[in-house]
Structure 1
Amino acid sequence: MDKSDKKKLVTLDGRTGEGGGQVVRVAVALAALTGTPLRIDNVRGNREGPRGGGLKAQHVSCIKTLADATDAEVTGCSVGSKSFQFRAKLSPTEIVNRNIKVRADSAASVLLVFQATLPFLLFAGDESGSPISLTIQGGTNVSFSLSFEYLDQVLLPSLERFGIKVERKLEYRGWSHGTREIGSIKFKVTPLGPGQTLKAPAWPTEPGNVTKIDISLVVPRDVQAALKKSLLFELDLVFPGVEIDFIVIDDSRHKSRLYTLLVAHTTPGLRFGRDWLYDKKTKDKSPDQLSTEISQKVVDDLDVEIRKGGLVDEHLQDQLIVFQALAEGMSNIAGSAEALASDRDRVDRTDMPFGDGSLHTTTARWVVSQLLPHVKWVDGGRLCEGAGWKTIDADVESTAEGVQSLSINASTA
């Protein structure tokens, strides 16, 4: 049954600096889930240079995948488009295809498509508890996006604290560096049962001490030995006595493909990840030179992340915003010691990006607030009182009542 006509159109301005793509991903995910008609103008409007302006291939894949699942009316969905509209007709519980395949014709990020579709699929449960299979082709290791390794080792284990279950398998890698290749990841999502909600996680209240660091290397074979040696040296300087484990060592099969991920495990079970898909010229650089440069950067980045004293790393924090907002109950997932130590009880204004964290994090909070207006954020986003979302008609209509016609300029982000 099409209920979208009962809801007012939400209009967002996509001029959000580095958060431009974030607006598209988060807004379309929630528009599909809630059935809220959506329009985004000035898509990635503050971008300049080769990364500038309009929808990218991965954004188009996100929109089309959710449009197919919801039988949505869509206009302006093409690469380079500066404005588009999305109006879902079907709710998650009305999904027909439980074996979804997304085929990209470029190395567009698989993980961005997955991030956009997961909130919708989580609420597509049926009475028999059938899982949903999702296979996405595209880039698994691409610039300005999560890698499969980060998703597998940091994001999905963290989402398990919300009760989210996703099986994943890397079938083959896809790269934006070197000769472009299309990869594939297969997911099996276990949706919530009809009428069920996500629960706010019992997140640790202190970051704890680093007990172990896992390392993933996807680099040319002739760089592996030098990089392993350099990483061990740098880590011993910064994290002396901490257990080190190389859990992934793969041949990237191209001199321009150098990917490294460090994941620190702490005493209360938190994970902090920092990675680098090398984005500089490799010509005339020896394996030793490349290894020193890479190891110094990723180790220093991890050290900075740990020293912030928060409960989540910078990249994970913005990924959790949607799930905090959808969950039932209060969550506190502070990104820094300052935010963690604060105790103010002031409700946040949500008419622009706000709160603790990176620009992607503050933008995600703002977008979520426009599509889930009953969510309450307190003390710069330190606390989130979630909506307790359930995909049933009463909740859809109740939530929609709080949505007003909006035209918001986020260019100040």
Structure 2
Amino acid sequence: MRDIDGSYGEGGGQLLRTACALAAITGEAVRLHHIRARRAPPGLAPQHLTAVKAVAALCEARVEGLELRSPELSFHPGKLRGGEFHFDVGTAGSVTLVLQALLPAALHAGVPVRIQLAGGTDVRAAPPLDYLRHVLLPLLAQMGAEVRLTLRRRGYYPRGGGLVEIVVQPRVLNGLRLETAGPVKQIRGIAHVSNLPMHIATRMQQTAARLLADIAPVEIEQQILGRDQAIGQGGAIVLWARTDHALIGSSEVAQRGVPAEFIAGTAAQALREDIVSGATLDLHASDQVLIYCALSQGPSCFRARTLSSHAHTTLWLLQKLLPLRVVTTPADAATHVDIVPG
């Protein structure tokens, strides 16, 4: 059994999700202690319970310490299996964070996996659903992954109630090689609101388009959703820029009392900074693809504007649990990352 200090680095839930996913894939048990020690309150929150239960279901694991606010957990995996599964976070906990644990395991299940997942689709401190659909999944497709995601209903804080369906075909992944970005050809995006006035989405769209128009042609779709398409009130803006060799995204979730212009401006500025730095992956994708690169059959490389604390923590964990060589070097205004499995 591998022993993992859950307070290492940024000390958040990603360390827990990644550790359980790797345990399911490698078949080696892990014990985590001081889980989310740097968060308030510490320990397991509802979405973390769902993530661990979901991965455990895929590999018929025995789990000890799986209870709300538990600071310690032991995960004893069985054999990964496919089939149909349904999981409900039970709150507005993020479905995209649960998928961070589920997707790597599902890709290694050997047979197709179909998952219905209920919870929050667009919540703070988590990737919005459209970022997953239009940035992360296309990047994984470049590595050979085949994941089909269908949005049935959006859900927001505090009620949740969103619903997505995911079908994953098991695949051996290739390395992700993104040496240089090249000039931006087009910037696209989605600005959506649910059960809120249309002008909020319009203001997000217009602000982002104005701030990015000097880089490349901008096309941002507005989506105005009603009660049949979403539970509760909420919204988000997701932007992505395509070059000859790269896909770079950014996002921001709407917040009560925060102007639409500020929300859109924050997302647009993050995208601009990644583009100007010469990055081939944005700040968040460079964190989220690491586990897939580590599990691929070939080397990967990319440039990031900077490596987040999440990324440094994930790299520490990956090298602790897998045979892996990682080299980071300065590259003008960015950081070049080489990942060599095995």
TM-score under structure 2 length normalisation = 0.90
Question: Cα offset for 1:133?
Answer: 0.9
Question: Cα offset for 1:242?
Answer: 2.4
Instruction: Find the residue that maps to 2:185 and give its secondary structure.
Output: strand
1:224 matches 2:209: no
Question: Cα offset for 1:158?
Answer: 0.4
1:38 matches 2:30: yes
1:109 matches 2:94: yes
Which of the residues 251, 257, 269 maps onto 1:275? 251
Aligned to 1:394: none
Aligned to 1:314: 283
1:346-395 C-alpha deviation (Å, 9 max, x unpaired):
xxxxxxxxxx60011111111111111x11112357111123xxxxxxxx
Taking a change above 3 Å as real, the CA distance of residues 227 and 218 of structure 1, as seen in their structure-2 partners, is closer
- Name the amino acid aligned to 1:190: Q
Question: Cα offset for 1:89?
Answer: 2.3
The aligned runs of 1:97-136 (5 Å cut-off) are: 98-126=83-111, 131-136=112-117
Which of the residues 283, 303, 313 maps onto 2:272? 303
Taking a change above 3 Å as real, the CA distance of residues 227 and 135 of structure 1, as seen in their structure-2 partners, is closer
1 or 2, which has the higher strand percentage? 2
Instruction: Find the residue that maps to 2:181 and give its secondary structure.
Output: coil
Aligned-pair identity in percent equals 28
Which of the residues 5, 8, 12 maps onto 1:20? 12
Aligned to 1:75: 64
Kept after mapping to 2: 8 A contact 1:102/1:135: yes
Question: Cα offset for 1:266?
Answer: 1.8
Aligned to 1:62: 51
Aligned to 1:212: 186
Question: Cα offset for 1:321?
Answer: 0.4
TM-score under structure 1 length normalisation = 0.75
Counterparts of 2:211 and 2:89 in 1: how far apart (Å)? 43
Which of the residues 132, 149, 161 maps onto 1:182? 161
Bigger mean CA deviation after superposition, 72-81 or 258-267: 258-267
Taking a change above 3 Å as real, the CA distance of residues 150 and 368 of structure 1, as seen in their structure-2 partners, is same
Aligned to 1:346: none
Counterparts of 2:232 and 2:33 in 1: how far apart (Å)? 40
Kept after mapping to 2: 8 A contact 1:263/1:272: yes
Taking a change above 3 Å as real, the CA distance of residues 251 and 326 of structure 1, as seen in their structure-2 partners, is same
Aligned to 1:376: 325
Question: Cα offset for 1:305?
Answer: 2.0
Instruction: Find the residue that maps to 1:258 and give its secondary structure.
Output: strand
Tell me which structure has the larger Cα radius of gyration.
1
Kept after mapping to 1: 8 A contact 2:248/2:282: yes
Taking a change above 3 Å as real, the CA distance of residues 369 and 235 of structure 1, as seen in their structure-2 partners, is same
Taking a change above 3 Å as real, the CA distance of residues 211 and 71 of structure 1, as seen in their structure-2 partners, is same
- Name the amino acid aligned to 2:311: T
Aligned to 2:333: none
Which of the residues 326, 341, 358 maps onto 2:308? 358
The aligned runs of 1:315-330 (5 Å cut-off) are: 315-330=284-299
Aligned to 2:137: 156
Count of residues in correspondence between the two structures: 333
- Name the amino acid aligned to 1:275: S
Structure 1, unpaired ranges of 5+ = 1-8, 283-289, 337-355, 388-413
1:199 matches 2:154: no
Structure 2, unpaired ranges of 5+ = 330-335
